[in-house]
């Protein structure tokens, strides 16, 4: 099975992780499973929105690779074993957390082992969802160069929309094949301000970045995050869930 790859990008604080959690809920509900969710943001907190503990990250495994290997085990065998241990298995989806970015020293071999292991893992999933930082270097490290859906997330600000446009334009130099890309605007005020509406239309028209959806500001999401509850348990009639699902229906139809 060749999985479809969904990548999320956007400047910090735009709600990429919130969108990722809502997207996992959507894929589970539509039975588009199994899903591998990868938290590739160095400020990793997707697990918190899913109410899942993290015991091991890829960043920690990379550091372990700098040391001596267990007797009778090659580095790629060790990497594969550790990644299997790092995968958090849930009903319908698994979660893998990348952790902190590379520190001093060369991690080329570790990234090569990661790419090989991801190649092996990929065939087990229907969808791979990667929650990125603004940059998308993790995608090449994981050997995910063909992206079926790139969702660029913005907050309701002129700077956020501008950053989204720049990210859309940067995918070419990274050597990524993007089959579909969409702009998601998060935490939009209701009613929409004319200024924000104009900025969104300008971005859509001038950067070949179709509008995927506009998600309203939501007290329900804030309450769920403060109480530590999983976004997967949000009721289907919560307005932001309904808007997100309608957008995902359009994007993935």
* C-alpha–C-alpha distance, residues 41 and 45, integer Å: 8
Residue 134 has pLDDT above 70, yes or no: no
Enter the tokens of residue 96.
């893998």
pLDDT (0 to 100) of residue 1? 74
Mean pLDDT of 236-249: 96
Comparing 47 with 139, the larger pLDDT belongs to: 47
pLDDT (0 to 100) of residue 110? 61
Comparing 168 with 198, the larger pLDDT belongs to: 198
Reported as a single tens digit per residue, the pLDDT across 38-87 is: 998 777 789 999 999 999 988 888 888 778 888 988 888 888 888 899 99
Query: Which residue segment(s) compose the domain that 201 sits in?
Result: 4-252
Q: What is the DSSP letter of 144?
A: -
* CA torsion through residues 181, 187, 189, 194, sign: negative
| β-sheet with 35-39: strand ranges across | 88-89, 93-97, 35-39, 127-131, 4-9, 149-154, 181-188, 211-216
Residue 195 has pLDDT above 70, yes or no: yes
Residue 18 pLDDT grade (very low, low, confident, very high; cuts 50, 70, 90):
very high
- Count up the domains in the chain and report the number: 1
Residue 13 pLDDT grade (very low, low, confident, very high; cuts 50, 70, 90):
confident
Residue 105 has pLDDT above 70, yes or no: no
* Average pLDDT across the chain, whole number: 87
Comparing 29 with 110, the larger pLDDT belongs to: 29
* C-alpha–C-alpha distance, residues 101 and 235, integer Å: 35
pLDDT (0 to 100) of residue 146? 87
pLDDT (0 to 100) of residue 139? 76
Identify the CATH number of the domain in which residue 120 sits: 3.40.50.300
Q: Which of 49-53, 86-90, 112-116 has the lowest mean pLDDT?
A: 112-116
Mean pLDDT of 179-202: 92
Quote the strand ranges of 18-126, DSSP E: 35-39, 88-89, 93-97
Between strands 88-89 and 93-97, the pairing is antiparallel
Residue 217 has pLDDT above 70, yes or no: yes
Mean pLDDT of 211-218: 95
pLDDT (0 to 100) of residue 104? 52
Residue 206 pLDDT grade (very low, low, confident, very high; cuts 50, 70, 90):
confident
């Amino acid at each position: 099975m060749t999985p479809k790859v969904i990548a999320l990008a956007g400047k910090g604080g735009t709600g990429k992780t919130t969108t990722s959690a809502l997207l996992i809920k959507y894929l589970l509900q539509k039975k588009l499973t199994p899903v591998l969710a990868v938290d590739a943001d160095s400020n990793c907190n997707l697990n918190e929105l899913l109410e899942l503990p993290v015991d091991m990250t890829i960043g920690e495994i990379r550091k372990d690779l700098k040391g001596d290997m267990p007797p009778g085990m090659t580095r790629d065998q060790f990497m594969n074993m550790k990644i299997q241990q790092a995968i958090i298995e849930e009903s319908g989806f698994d979660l893998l957390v990348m952790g902190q970015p590379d520190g001093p020293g060369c991690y080329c071999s570790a990234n090569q082992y990661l790419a090989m292991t991801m190649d092996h893992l990929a065939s087990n999933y229907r969808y791979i969802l990667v929650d990125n930082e603004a940059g998308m270097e993790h995608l090449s490290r994981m050997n995910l160069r063909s992206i079926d859906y790139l969702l660029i997330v913005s907050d309701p600000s002129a700077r956020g929309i501008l950053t989204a446009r720049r990210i859309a334009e940067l995918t070419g130099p990274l050597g990524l094949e993007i089959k579909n890309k969409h702009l998601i605007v998060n935490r939009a005020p209701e009613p929409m301000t004319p200024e924000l509406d104009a900025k969104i239309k300008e971005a859509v028209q001038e950067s070949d970045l179709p509008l995927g959806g506009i998600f309203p500001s939501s007290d329900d999401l804030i309450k769920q995050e403060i109480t530590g509850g999983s976004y997967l348990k949000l009721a289907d009639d919560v307005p932001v869930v309904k808007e997100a699902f309608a957008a995902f229906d359009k994007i993935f139809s």
